[in-house]
Chain A
């Protein structure tokens, strides 16, 4: 099995089992219980210090979305000519903006989405470099 590494450490998990959904790496305030993504030290709600690491997701609800008809990463990566973008409300509270997997007709506000990993490239050590995306949960189509 090909090894997978995150495009950047500290934002999401990369499970050993490719069938397992990734989770987002967030924070929870020990004082007021507010959740955040990405991780932070100072609570944005009550200003307490020392937020603790917590896993968020993998499911969320689509708050809003669009479909972009301009290449992703502009000139740097024109392989993706069009793509979906959404804001996804996690049950823990944070609203996460991310690229959506699917076609222009696959999304509607309020639908359930699940985290997934997409391979961006293979690095010099032959590992797949992955980034998190959201995709519609099977059967949750418009």
Chain B
């Protein structure tokens, strides 16, 4: 179903990075205030909030919201691993589209510096050793190795994607990684090998951060923000896995590739759009090989043609379909929950024409994609209008 009658009222971010001296509530407050200021609102204008994080602990979202005020608004917690922020956004968008709320906030925060080293929820040592000990780099590397076997992909392709995203990040003021030189594929390849064929520079950093997006009824945004370009979400879809033979149930896994294809197809259908209509895309590039796969699974080229997109520079700024214009998870960073809202924050800048020297010329339509825990996928589509 097409999302109708909603628009982005505002967005805000606390630059991702090392914030170990600040509390998550403080990070959330600053991101929330930034979005409220951008929207020209206070919490009194907000009818409902959806708050996401993946760190352990219950009700942290409600507690963080109190830093913005105590207005009695309903607060719902959302958790879908790396997809958390974009799923919180989906709930906010649909809360407004349904008419239940005139203004809804999606807020997310996390501190990966506190999660690193196995600080997550334990399900008992035995179960953990069966299920959770394998490093994320490893299961994405398993995907990369199979791709290389099937398609003749070379590590240079993954390195070129990573280098592109490092260089995009250097153009984005709130990107965590700000390289002081043009990063080359050679440099990425020469960095420490983590899990064959993935190197350290092909992986996202462990970040802290917070981000917030406020969705409101379109007429309200038009009335309050005359003269500003309107950014409207037109589809927001969430799917979990579909069973097919050979499914891997135990262990942290990438999840079936069909999940991204099916979710994107549902989003395109809902919006009445196709990949050819999209001017830029932001996707889950926790590891560079993922982005290559998503070129195909999101429909931007036929299966097996992803390498050609890398080789021709089509997905770099200035190319036909720029991917991860803010640096993606690899450079802008990936604190977990907030990542999806950082993606929307970048799309808002691009579709308002306010993305500075990383502006995609004439950008009108953008796609946001995230996967979470190998078990969920979410895709949203946005249109910018005068």
Q: Which residues of A contact B (CB under 8 A)?
A: 6-8, 11, 34, 36-38, 40, 44-45, 63-70, 72-76, 85-87, 89, 93-99, 104, 109, 120, 131
B118 interface residue per 8 A CB criterion: yes
For chain B, give the interface size range.
35 or more
B residues apposed to A, CB below 8 Å: 117-118, 124-127, 129-130, 133-135, 137-139, 141-146, 149, 192-198, 243, 245-251, 253
| A7 and B126 form a contact (CB under 8 A) | yes
Within the complex, the shortest CB–CB distance from B102 to chain A, in Å, comes to 41
Instruction: Judge whether A70 and B137 touch: CB under 8 Å.
Output: yes
Known A-B contacts A36-B249, A68-B194; the reply to A8 vs B142 at CB < 8 A is no
Residues of B within 8 A of A40 (CB): 249
Q: How far, in whole Å, are A109 and B148 apart by their CA atoms in the complex?
A: 11
CB contact between B196 and one of A38, A67, A93, A97 (< 8 Å): that residue: A67
- A96 contacts across to B, CB distance below 8 A: 248, 250
Other CB < 8 Å A-B pairs besides A64-B145, A66-B197, A85-B142, 7 of them?
Answer: A38-B250, A66-B141, A68-B194, A73-B118, A73-B129, A74-B135, A97-B253
* Cβ contact of A64, chosen from B130, B149, B243, B245, cutoff 8 A: B149
Q: Which 9 residue pairs of A and B lie closest in terms of their CB atoms, listed nearest first?
A: A8-B126, A66-B141, A64-B146, A97-B251, A44-B243, A7-B126, A68-B195, A95-B246, A85-B138
**A38 B249 Cβ-Cβ under 8 A:** yes
For B133, list chain A residues within 8 Å (CB): 72-74, 99
The total of Cβ contacts below 8 Å across the A-B interface reads 106
Interface centre among B118, B135, B137, B144 (most CB of A within 10 A): B135
Which of A37, A93, A104 is B250 in contact with, Cβ under 8 Å? A37
B195 touches A66 (CB 8 A): yes
B254 to chain A, nearest CB (A): 10
Residues in chain A near residue B243, CB distance under 8 A? 44-45
Q: Name the one of B144, B145, B246, B248 contacting A109, with C-beta atoms under 8 angstroms.
A: B145
* A93 contact from B117, B125, B129, B245, Cβ within 8 A: B245
14 contacts between A and B (CB under 8 A): A6-B126, A7-B125, A7-B130, A8-B127, A34-B245, A36-B249, A65-B142, A66-B141, A74-B118, A74-B133, A76-B118, A94-B246, A95-B248, A131-B130
CA distance A73 to B248 in the complex (A): 21
Cross-chain contact B137 with A7 (CB below 8 angstroms): no
- Distance of A66 Cα from B243 Cα, bound (Å): 25
Separation of A86 and B138 alpha carbons in the complex (Å): 9
Give the chain B neighbours of A75 by CB distance below 8 A.
117-118
Q: In the complex, which residue of chain B has the Cβ closest to the Cβ of A12?
A: B130
> Which of chain B's residues have a CB closer than 8 A to the CB of A93?
245-246
Q: Are B247 and A64 in contact (CB under 8 A)?
A: no
Of all chain A residues, the one with the shortest Cβ separation from B129 is A7
List the A residue with the shortest CB-CB distance to B193.
Answer: A69
CB distance from B75 to the nearest CB of A (A): 33
Out of A45, A64, A67, A89, which one reaches B143, CB within 8 Å? A64
Q: A7-B130, A8-B130, A131-B130 are in contact. Are A95 and B141 (CB under 8 A)?
A: no
> Would you give the shortest CB distance from A111 to chain B, in whole angstroms?
12
Choice from B127, B129, B138, B192 contacting A66 with Cβ under 8 Å:
B138
Chain A residues, CB < 8 A from B253 = 97
CB distance from B148 to the nearest CB of A (A): 9
The residue in chain A whose Cβ has the minimal distance to the Cβ of B123 is: A8
